[in-house]
Amino acid sequence: MDLHLLVDNLTNPALLFFFLGIIAVQLKSDLEIPPNSSKFISLYLLLSIGFKGGQELSHSDLNFEILWSLLFGVLLAVAVPIYSYYILRRKFSVANAGAIAASYGSVSAVTFVTAISFLEIEQITFGGHMVAVMALMEAPSIIVGLLLISFYDKYNPVKISMSKVAKHALTNGSVLLILGSLVVGFLASEEQAQGIKPFTTDLFKGFLAVFLLDMGITSGKKLGAFLKKGWFALIFAIIVPIINGIIVAIISSTFTESIGNRLLFAILAASASYIAVPAAMRLAAPKANPSLYLPMALAITFPFNITLGMPLYLCVIQMC
């Protein structure tokens, strides 16, 4: 791995604020971001990245690379939870294995946003269609996870309304906002986009820093309790994302030459959902333990990806 690249990432101010949040928890500080402010910032980040993605997409021609990218994203969202489930069943119940598998098949919008910030710092370009790829990967993994639970839980079958689950996944606030912002950005002219550039672009890194501070505080609170649950979950939350990220970083070269797109694919494959999937599982699979799959995604996989994962996957891409 390029040491200079790793140092650049670890000294990124936004990432340092994430560490500050973890330290604040360990020091038992009363530092916190008000819930309403945190929600607003997360909505802003999704709106901004969706709008900018739409603008980039409006300047691109619809081609086979874009179509293959969309298809590949959906295939990943189906394949990852299936093989993850069978690994997880060695240690966990059907419900917990299905919920964790769905989390790791789905994506983390915040990890994606952080990866885009990383690419901008490194001055690496990427395609606006990757925002659409991210949004499309939310629903399939949730549906696959619930189908696995339903199929294997013979003694306590889960009654699942797939239409309700699909609707919930597709109308989830984060998915709807980023897809809607993508469409708005696509339809807006360049002159109109310039009019709101101070909001959509200039403020982005500052808001990201505050949001990662909040994520650091949240992760720090969940980390201690999670570590008491055993080593298997901890190892899975690190090793499986690494394997997913490296494999996808390599095979994505078959349909795109863009280093930025390949890194975003690797991050999407390596990340885990801690927003959309927990909401869906709480609704459709109440037996799954949120104190297991939520900390795995948020307190282990998320910090790993934004610190060591991104430089690692970029190094693999540059070597291949």
Its domain, for residue 270, covers 3-21+34-319
- pTM metric for this prediction: 0.83
Domain CATH number, residue 101: 1.20.1530.20
**Total structural domains within the chain:** 1
Residues 280-304: pLDDT tens digits?
787 777 788 887 888 899 889 999 9
Contact 236, 296 (CB under 8 A): yes
Q: Is residue 48 a part of any domain in this protein? A: yes
Q: Is residue 170 a part of any domain in this protein? A: yes
Distance CA 30, CA 34 (A): 12
Q: Is residue 26 a part of any domain in this protein? A: no
User: pLDDT truncated to tens, each residue of the chain (320 aa)?
Assistant: 566 777 777 788 888 998 999 899 989 999 998 988 888 888 888 888 888 888 877 877 778 888 999 999 999 999 999 999 999 999 999 999 999 999 999 888 889 989 998 998 889 999 888 988 888 887 788 888 888 888 887 665 555 566 666 666 666 676 778 788 888 988 998 889 888 888 888 888 898 899 889 988 988 887 776 777 678 999 999 999 999 999 999 999 999 999 999 999 999 999 998 877 877 787 777 788 887 888 899 889 999 999 999 999 999 999 88
Question: Interior CA angle at 299 toward 136 and 147, to 5°?
Answer: 40
Q: Is residue 29 a part of any domain in this protein? A: no
Residues 11-22: pLDDT tens digits?
888 889 989 998
Provide the H-helix boundaries in the chain. 3-10, 13-26, 35-58, 64-88, 94-105, 109-121, 129-136, 138-152, 162-170, 173-187, 190-195, 197, 204-227, 231-251, 259-270, 276-284, 290-295, 302-304, 310-319
